[in-house]
A = this chain, B = another copy of it.
């Protein structure tokens, strides 16, 4: 195969299979070429990916050596994306009764969701995550986006048990904002003991839902390695019960009467500069 064709095939392969370890002989056969040529192809691809802030090719030598594409947004690209999101959220027509914010249009856009996933996956890239956990409903697309870049499965905690998932573990927890007792359920079969977990959700106020998930995950002896929330909002009445999390956006003030919203970047900026 000619170099130009090989470059298209290889670029497609890496983008479709992030974090998948592949040994060079596989590519030599696939592309009907030599090891040296594949190596040069990868030099080119790696350089372009890095220059565009998309990630890099992680190459290892030796008997089990090979290559995997690690998708990691550059800090600059992440911040540019968050700034655009921030501006969109400041639109006062988003204010809903009760001081909530309409975000379904953004969360309904697969491209926006994918970029959110890419930003989180970049932050958690070195945390050795085995599985992404979220709770139904709105966190689901975000969780899949993060998981696709980390190349790990998604497990969905439900608020109601479903007959189609077999036996399950459930816990009761107190919701931070409504003070109601709620239930969370996770099928036994869905999570291995001792897994490294990344929790993803769309919104956090006092953090009751995430605390509930953490408690439920303790029943599976899971290690919560990372927590990502798209947007956090200050809750003046409640103290936050979760502190080790990453947020992309912070809704600092919603003035319902004056029709004004203040939206800032979340704590992701502080984290990256650590």
**Most chain B CB neighbours (cut-off 10 Å) among A4, A16, A101, A166:** A4
Are B108 and A9 in touch, CB under 8 angstroms? no
Taking the nearest CB of chain B, how far is it from the CB of A255, in angstroms? 18
**Which of the residues B4, B17, B187 comes within 8 Å of A3, measured between beta carbons?**
B4
Are A5 and B48 in touch, CB under 8 angstroms? yes
> Please, how many angstroms separate the alpha-carbon atoms of A52 and B9 in the complex?
8
- Whether a CB of chain B sits under 8 angstroms from the CB of A33 is no
- Whether a CB of chain B sits under 8 angstroms from the CB of A36 is no
Known interface pairs A11-B8, A108-B156, A156-B137. Does A102 touch B164 (Cβ–Cβ under 8 Å)? yes
- Whether a CB of chain B sits under 8 angstroms from the CB of A109 is yes
Number of interface residues, chain A, beta carbon within 8 A: 55
Contacts of A48 in B (CB 8 A): 5, 8-9, 12
Known interface pairs A4-B44, A8-B44, A136-B136. Does A101 touch B164 (Cβ–Cβ under 8 Å)? yes
- Whether a CB of chain B sits under 8 angstroms from the CB of A171 is no
- Look across to chain B and name the residue whose beta carbon is closest to the beta carbon of A106: B153
Are B153 and A105 in touch, CB under 8 angstroms? yes
- Whether a CB of chain B sits under 8 angstroms from the CB of A256 is no
> Please, how many angstroms separate the alpha-carbon atoms of A52 and B10 in the complex?
12
User: From residue 1 to 28 of chain A, which have CB atoms closer than 8 A to chain B?
Assistant: 3-5, 7-9, 11-12, 15-17
- Whether a CB of chain B sits under 8 angstroms from the CB of A67 is no
* 18 A-B pairs whose Cβ atoms sit less than 8 Å apart in the complex: A4-B4, A5-B47, A8-B48, A96-B163, A96-B166, A101-B164, A102-B164, A102-B165, A104-B189, A105-B190, A108-B154, A109-B153, A110-B147, A110-B151, A110-B153, A113-B144, A136-B137, A137-B158
What residues of chain A have their CB less than 8 Å away from a CB belonging to chain B? 3-5, 7-9, 11-12, 15-17, 44-45, 47-49, 52, 54, 96-98, 100-105, 108-111, 113-114, 136-137, 140-141, 144, 147-148, 151-156, 158, 163-166, 187, 189-190, 203
Q: A136-B136, A137-B140 provided; 14 other pairs, C-beta below 8 A?
A: A4-B7, A5-B44, A7-B11, A8-B11, A8-B49, A15-B16, A96-B163, A104-B190, A105-B153, A109-B154, A110-B147, A110-B153, A137-B158, A140-B141
